[in-house]
Amino acid sequence: MGPSGSGKSTLMHIIGCLDTPTSGEYLLDNKDVSKLSDDELADIRMQKIGFVFQSFNLLPRATVLRNVTLPLVYAGISKEERENQAKEALRGAAFPEEFWNHYSNQLSGGMMQRVAIARALVNNPTLVLADEPTGNLDTKTGEVVLDTFQRLHQDQGRTIVLITHEPYVAEHAERIINIRDGNIVEDGKVKNRRVINNHPAPEQVRYGAGNHNAK
């Protein structure tokens, strides 16, 4: 967590193997990835890391299922297996099956973000990186997304690294690392963690605030 310009995105890029550090080592699954080639880093990203972005980055005229299968196209996986893995990822992200064949531009912001979470899970990553995942969502819809992350961590043992500048969002995590001017200034467990026990049903969120495209 930190203000704009603090170095959050740079740190995420290094953790996500999108950039390499200028010095030091970065161990991922006990392997030093800081000296790997671009092709080797691409393999690491495909095999071990899932990304969730603030702007969703979905193909608007592709179905939900198609959007989630896309990362597997480049992995040489058969169409049948791609769809099976995508369906499993959508279930893991608590995305309702009745909307799997909808186009992504027919969904609310909250549902699009859960499609993006499913896409991040489809390669069964060790690590999920989420960059301001609630930044474009209203508070209620944002809580549904945060609840999804909490469930993925608690139920599936996923490691979630969430980038934010909002203390309220950060308090949903178990640990907060504060960054300022490229330096870690505080690192500790959350004493009074926010745990979401109740949230709107998916169909309620679909027609929630900020939804201009749902039918």
Residue 119: CA count within 13 A, CB half-sphere: 26
pLDDT score recorded for residue 109 = 87
List the chain domain ranges. Answer: 50-138+206-215
The candidate with the shortest Cα–Cα distance to 209, out of 138, 113, 129, is: 138
pLDDT score recorded for residue 203 = 39
Low-confidence ranges of the chain (pLDDT < 70): 196-215
Fold category of 50-138+206-215 in CATH: Rossmann fold (3.40.50)
pLDDT score recorded for residue 100 = 95
Predicted TM-score (pTM) of this structure: 0.79
Map residue 146 onto helix, strand or coil: helix
pLDDT score recorded for residue 157 = 86
